[in-house]
Structure 1
């Protein structure tokens, strides 16, 4: 979990559960912030247009795209950002702890919603076994969280996206595990900027 002065809590959900410091969350709760932003990095994420989003249907949105939450997960969703809501699955244990310690002032967000947005190009973030990809051309035209357990999964995902959007030829901002991203893409990106 990374904490900043703005009371931002970053939770990285890995295949074995979440990784954050319980003590750090408890310390953060003493800051007196009115809201805590929790970034959920999981492949069990989908973006829903705000015009179609209904809170009571949140779990169905994940199920419709083949990301059915397991019995030990709960569905959370973000506030509206750029006319979209991110719907994500979170460990019930993690959710219960955060709710207990931080109360009801939690805003869940996805890496698919974070950072500066280019007019054109792509943003990629590799966090553990999840690759977050956003492609822009006057607005977001593609946004997905993809599970990439191995290098073959990563290469397959990149090749599939490139066939449709030609990402290897566009300006791409990358962050997270950049070395793995470069290794898996075999340096096929013509304009890769690392953050």
Structure 2
């Protein structure tokens, strides 16, 4: 469906919370049928993530995710700083979290993580010419880095150790690349 047939016109915005990474607002909107409703919206600066491949293994990090109450295995990722180049941010996050460096990343896809309530867009890149180094995570990041095979990644998905959308998308892009030579359809 295209056009503005389903557009919700904002009548009023109420700021609720302004944090380090996100903000929350309540928008009062007019619906297409003329009625009104409220929408709780999380504003986010956007993020990058990297499918990092080294010697036919995917570089992942495991860290505790407070929102989930458990550890999670994920590809390296992080939020964009204001005005930051997306590819440079991807290279920065890869090196900070894993110690691996590269001179270039190539885009795979960009997607909204939760469009029902948030405007966060995530830019997924691939890097496959890596040089090992020393990780320099942020002072509040505690993580372990691991290189896993495609088969292990699929096993981690089945076990729920990998359960976030960006990492699952990266695993499927990697599998597609193995089958077709392309990371996208």
User: So what's the TM-score if we normalise by structure 1?
Assistant: 0.27
Q: Which has the higher helix share?
A: 1
User: So what's the TM-score if we normalise by structure 2?
Assistant: 0.28
- Higher relative contact order structure (alpha carbons within 8 Å, sequence separation ≥ 6): 2
